[in-house]
Amino acid sequence: METLGELNSPLVDVEARLRNLLPSKLYADVWINPSTRNLTRIFNHLRTVSRIFNDYLPRQVVSSLPKPGFPIFEWVEGTLMFTDLSGFTPLLEKNAEYGKDGADTLLKVLNGYFTEMLQIVSKSGGNLLEFTGDALLVQFPTDQRGSDTTRAVRAGLRMQRAMEPFQNIEMLDETFKMGMRVGIHVGKFLTADIGTPHRMEHVLLGTDVLRAKKAEGSGQVGKVCLSLEAMERVQDEFHFEEHGDDHVLVIDDLSDDDLGDYDIIPSRTRMASMVLFDTSKEGLVTAISDSVNKVEPLASFIPTQILNLLVENASARGIPPDFPEATMLFVNILGLPEYLDEAPEEDQASVITGFSRIVSLINAEIEAQGGVMKKVTYHHAGPDIMAFFGVPVAHTNDTQRAVKAAQEILKIIRLTKDIDFCDETISLTCHIGISTGRVFAGEIGQRQGRREFNVMGNNVNTAARLMDRAEPNQILVTSAVRRQIKDQYQNKRMAGIQLKGRSTKLTLYDLGKEKS
């Protein structure tokens, strides 16, 4: 059979690595006509994508080129801040009635909030580690002066003062009010890059991360809540009021001049800018190859479906918001990660490798069912995984796909052998919640800064609370989920269940085995 000549393309050596990084039309244009003009278009596109990745990923990932598929970890000392937004759900539900216009309006309000908060964090020397729905996880690295906790508290006070414009939001003939809780804890935590070359995750582990989350959960809207360890670091600089046995609330009695607008202005670590020096065809091919070497490792930290969205919308530098129907899946994993604080140094790598294996297998099951594993984050009981089905790619049976993935995840946990560690036997368990309904999906954060694609709303919160309620190795689903899968799976009705944050009781279902 005669070859028609496509393999003479100057990009043949790098083509396989370019496939997932180029928009479909640009890929086809260049393969058909690898002119100097089209090669220049590729280079410019990769430069834009690199900037997007820099904004999407934590500073620790982009500051040094990662090696996908090779788990790495390090212990870090510093102060952690968790924030959580209240009052957002009513605003979301109201705007959902207005379709695309409502989505655009909601995104403007939400990103106005995030932009304000992230500017304060940056000016206070903080580093955003991740978005978790409408929540933020921020690190204040330890410095030579030991001022990280002070800067965190001052940032928290500034952030609470900056919430004033969001206390009275006039929209669609109604008034909405948003508030925020801030929790701060100081200690030692582990950062790790885990996963496979196809999908990597940057995670934080350790009991001090858990305690920072608990500080936020124990706090009050409009206040900055500190663990006792954090309070001890700054007890001579602020005044406090007691708040339970394990936390205190900071009294904001500082004048505007005393608090100020910033502490330090750190430089944002960015990837080295891609510069084109040789515009010949050979020079362009070399520049494209070098660009792929820099961009491809970062792409593995972004879920495939979201990566496709970013690549296709790179020229617009934004993904349009929407209110799609989606099925949410939350998995809380207990057992292995909690032992990291106690593990001898020689065993820590084995713990991380084991956790990396489990997360990789879970991601594979979620992707096999057409879902997106959004991230591995920290819950008040330990690390959890959030996944969604129906966004950004919808199927007619997304709920069934989510339930199938949950069943397979449960098998992974049950088949994981017990681990002998420090004279103890560790058994992994998981708690799973599934909910389906309308969500808000959009690119949240700063338009020209730190941001990410995320889904938010009451449906998301419900799935997380079902996960909270689930017993070890149990899958809890809502009535809406059960209606779609009742002919396929056995289930046990649980009536009159009160979930945290809900005024009415719900009927839930304990998902059993698939019917034969």
The DSSP string of 437-492 is EE-EEEEEE-TTSSEEEEEESHHHHHHHHHHHHPPTTEEEEEHHHHHHHTTTEEEE
Q: Which residues lie closer than 8 Å to 328 by C-beta, 6 or more apart?
A: 386, 387, 388, 389, 402, 433, 434, 435, 436, 439, 455, 459, 460, 462, 463, 464
Q: Quick one: how many helices (H) and strands (E) in the chain?
A: 16, 21
pLDDT band for 420, please (50, 70, 90 cuts): low
Average pLDDT over residues 341-362: 85
- What's domain 325-514's architecture? 2-Layer Sandwich (3.30)
Res 259 pLDDT > 80: yes
Average pLDDT over residues 184-211: 92
- Cα Rg of the chain (Å, integer): 24
Reported as a single tens digit per residue, the pLDDT across 121-158 is 999 999 999 888 889 999 999 877 779 999 999 999 99
pLDDT band for 4, please (50, 70, 90 cuts): very low
Res 5 pLDDT > 50: no
Q: Which two tokens stand for residue 267?
A: 């430089």
Report how far residue 68's alpha carbon sits from residue 193's, in angstroms, rounded to the nearest whole number.
8
Q: Under a CB-based contact definition with an 8 Å cutoff, are residues 221 and 183 in contact?
A: no
Q: Is the dihedral of CA 291, 447, 193, 419 positive or negative?
A: negative
Res 380 pLDDT > 80: no
Q: Under a CB-based contact definition with an 8 Å cutoff, are residues 391 and 360 in contact?
A: no
Backbone dihedral region of 485: left (phi > 0), alpha (psi from -120 to 50 degrees) or beta? alpha
Q: Do domains 71-254 and 325-514 have the same CATH topology?
A: yes
Q: Which residues lie closer than 8 Å to 168 by C-beta, 6 or more apart?
A: 175, 177
pLDDT band for 505, please (50, 70, 90 cuts): confident
pLDDT-above-70 percentage for the chain: 93
**Quick one: pLDDT at residue 289?**
94
Average pLDDT over residues 278-301: 93
Q: Which of 88-92, 239-243, 298-302 has the lowest mean pLDDT?
A: 88-92
Average pLDDT over residues 37-60: 93
Question: Which of 178, 141, 148, 151 minimizes the C-alpha distance to 162?
Answer: 178
pLDDT band for 382, please (50, 70, 90 cuts): low
- What's domain 71-254's architecture? 2-Layer Sandwich (3.30)
Q: Which of 68-77, 153-162, 309-318, 336-345 has the highest mean pLDDT?
A: 153-162
Report how far residue 108's alpha carbon sits from residue 97's, in angstroms, rounded to the nearest whole number.
16
Report how far residue 481's alpha carbon sits from residue 435's, in angstroms, rounded to the nearest whole number.
6
**Quick one: pLDDT at residue 335?**
77
Report how far residue 295's alpha carbon sits from residue 22's, in angstroms, rounded to the nearest whole number.
12
Average pLDDT over residues 158-184: 92
307 vs 428: which has the higher pLDDT:
307
Q: Which of 142-156, 223-237, 429-443 has the lowest mean pLDDT?
A: 142-156
What SS3 class is residue 326?
strand
**Domain-by-domain residue ranges, the chain?**
23-48+274-301, 71-254, 325-514
Neighbours of 213 (CB within 10 A): 24
Average of per-residue pLDDT values in the chain: 89
Question: Secondary structure of the chain: what % helix, strand, coil (to 5)?
Answer: 40, 30, 30
**Quick one: pLDDT at residue 57?**
93
Helices (H), 313-436: 345-368, 398-415
